[in-house]
């Protein structure tokens, strides 16, 4: 069968060839998150000729995204387009042969099963650990490989997980880092090149899986620091799934069941939303205040920390609760909290 000549250079690569390209054309991928990593991943896969790409993202294009989220334009920002919608529009112009489905949703335990229907691979474009543990649970329950990626500052990491064949994310990191303990792009910044570097690592692992070349997977957790010129890998090839792992060992899918979902609620009589995490804040207020100080006005006492931006205020309590005032609804409050506290 003659394949579209647009893929001729990719077909010439021995690792893919005509058979691999045909497999790619029949594949279906769920991409969760279409921000920095997700938008680059989406473009790479669409240009490569993936058959079907479902993009799920809860956010909209913001001016601050344009520095590193290469798929978006100023017009997307000025139009206030959801990222999934803006991405799909551009991607369809890049390759009309690919079936692209945009889903403007907050991916959670209620909808992940529906989003995964017919998908053969999950790609991580998220920005928080709760979402990644959800993807890990879904991967294990339905036997779907997934590729993890993350970046902040000039630092990033990537790993591919094959259910039943490799350790899962919770084998490596049994529980989520405490809220506020991890840097985010909005507190530590991010360089555009690290986004492309990590997305490239994720994309090549995805192509190996989709073209039937899983034997060439890295089988490593690779970390890279472009500013300090360091690449470090943790070899996972000799490790079996941990029988004591809550997820792949004991099959307790706590994130997929909703047992570990962070809870949000609008507070009656005020423009405030409460977010209630299941665990107390895991770091001292002094450390969180130091991290937030460059972007916000911060005060704290022994009971709570308050950070004030132009219109929005976060009050973070030691027991894990946070109250966000000034946000336009629950979704914006969750986005703002994820950006600055790291839910």
Query: Of 106, 101, 109, whose CA–CA distance to 46 is shortest?
Result: 101
The yes or no reply on domain 5-235 and CATH 3.30.565.10 is: no
Fill in the DSSP letter of residue 230.
E
What is the set of active-site residues?
185
Strand partners, 313: 308, 325
Query: What is the model's pLDDT at position 50?
Result: 98
What residue ranges do the domains of the chain occupy? 5-235, 263-340
Using alpha carbons, select from 49, 106, 112 the residue that is nearest to residue 82: 106
For 263-340, give the CATH class: alpha beta
Give the model's pLDDT for residue 33. Answer: 95
Token pair for residue 130?
Answer: 């709760």
112, 20 Cβ separation under 8 angstroms: no
Percent of the chain clearing pLDDT 70 (strictly above)? 94
Q: Would you say residue 154 has pLDDT above 70?
A: yes
pLDDT of residue 176: 77
Question: What pLDDT does residue 266 have?
Answer: 60
pLDDT at 2 (0 to 100): 57
pLDDT in tens, 234-281: 999 888 888 999 999 999 999 999 888 776 766 554 568 878 776 677
User: CA-CA distance, 95 to 142, in Å (whole number)?
Assistant: 30
DSSP-derived letter for residue 341 is: T
Query: Six-digit token pair at 253?
Result: 């899918």
Residue 180 has a pLDDT of 66
pLDDT for 274: 78
Distance, CA of 331 to CA of 168 (rounded, Å): 29
Q: Which residues contact 314 (CB under 8 A, 6 or more apart)?
A: 306, 307, 322, 323, 324, 336, 337, 340, 341
- pLDDT for 341: 82
At 125, is the pLDDT very low, low, confident or very high (cuts 50, 70, 90)? very high
Does the reported pTM lie above 0.85?
A: no
Least confidently predicted of 19-23, 48-52, 126-130? 126-130
Determine the average pLDDT of the residues in 113-123.
97
pLDDT at 123: 98
Q: What distance in Å separates the CA atoms of residue 173 and residue 316, rounded to the nearest whole number? A: 25
Average pLDDT for 138-158: 97
Q: How many residues does the chain have?
A: 343
Over residues 176-202, the mean pLDDT reads 85
- Residue 34 is predicted with a pLDDT of 95
- Six-digit token string for 106: 């907050």
223 and 233 Cβ atoms separated by less than 8 Å: yes
314 close to 307: Cβ distance less than 8 angstroms: yes
Please enumerate in sequence order all residues whose Cβ is within 8 A of that of 204, keeping only pairs 6 or more positions apart, or say none: none
pLDDT of residue 343: 57
Q: Is the pLDDT of residue 122 over 90?
A: yes
Looking at residue 270, its pLDDT comes to 54
Single out the residue of 122, 115, 111 nearest to residue 45, CA to CA.
122
User: What pLDDT sits at residue 321?
Assistant: 81
Cα–Cα distance measured from residue 123 to residue 41, given in angstroms and rounded to the nearest whole number: 8
DSSP count for the chain of H helices, then E strands: 12, 14
Per-residue model confidence (pLDDT) at position 175: 82
pLDDT at position 95 over 70: yes
Pairing of strands 263-267, 313-317: unpaired
Does 5-235 match 263-340 in CATH topology?
no
């Amino acid at each position: 069968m003659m394949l579209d000549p647009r893929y001729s250079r990719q077909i010439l690569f021995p690792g893919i060839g005509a058979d691999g390209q045909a497999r790619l054309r029949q594949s279906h991928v769920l991409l969760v998150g279409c921000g920095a990593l997700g938008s680059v991943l989406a473009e790479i896969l669409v240009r490569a000729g993936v058959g079907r790409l479902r993009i799920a993202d809860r956010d909209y294009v913001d001016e601050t995204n344009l520095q590193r989220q290469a798929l978006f334009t100023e017009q997307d920002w000025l139009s206030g387009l959801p990222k999934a919608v803006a991405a799909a529009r551009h991607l369809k112009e890049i390759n009309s042969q690919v079936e692209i489905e945009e889903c403007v949703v907050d991916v959670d335990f209620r909808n992940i099963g529906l989003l995964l229907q017919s998908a053969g691979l999950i790609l991580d474009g998220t920005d928080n650990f709760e979402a990644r543990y959800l993807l890990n649970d879904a991967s294990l329950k339905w036997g779907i490989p997934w590729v993890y990626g993350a970046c902040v500052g000039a630092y990033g990491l990537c790993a591919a997980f094959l259910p039943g064949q490799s350790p899962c994310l919770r084998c490596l990191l049994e529980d989520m880092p405490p809220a506020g303990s991890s840097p985010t792009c909005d507190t530590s910044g991010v360089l555009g090149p690290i986004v492309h570097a990590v997305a490239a690592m994720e994309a090549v692992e995805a192509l190996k899986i989709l073209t039937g070349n899983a034997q060439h997977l890295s089988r490593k957790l690779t970390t890279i620091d472009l500013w300090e010129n360091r690449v470090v890998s943790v070899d996972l090839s000799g490790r079996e799934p941990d029988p004591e792992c809550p997820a792949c060992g004991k099959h307790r899918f706590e994130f997929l069941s909703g047992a570990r979902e962070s809870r949000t609620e609008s507070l009656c009589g005020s423009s405030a939303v409460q977010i209630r995490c299941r665990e107390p804040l895991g770091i001292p207020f002094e450390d969180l205040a130091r991290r937030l100080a460059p972007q916000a006005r911060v005060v704290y006492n022994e009971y709570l920390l308050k950070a004030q931006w132009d219109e929005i205020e976060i009050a973070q309590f030691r027991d894990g609760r946070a109250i966000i005032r000034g946000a336009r609804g629950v979704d914006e409050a969750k986005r703002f909290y994820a950006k600055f506290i790291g839910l």
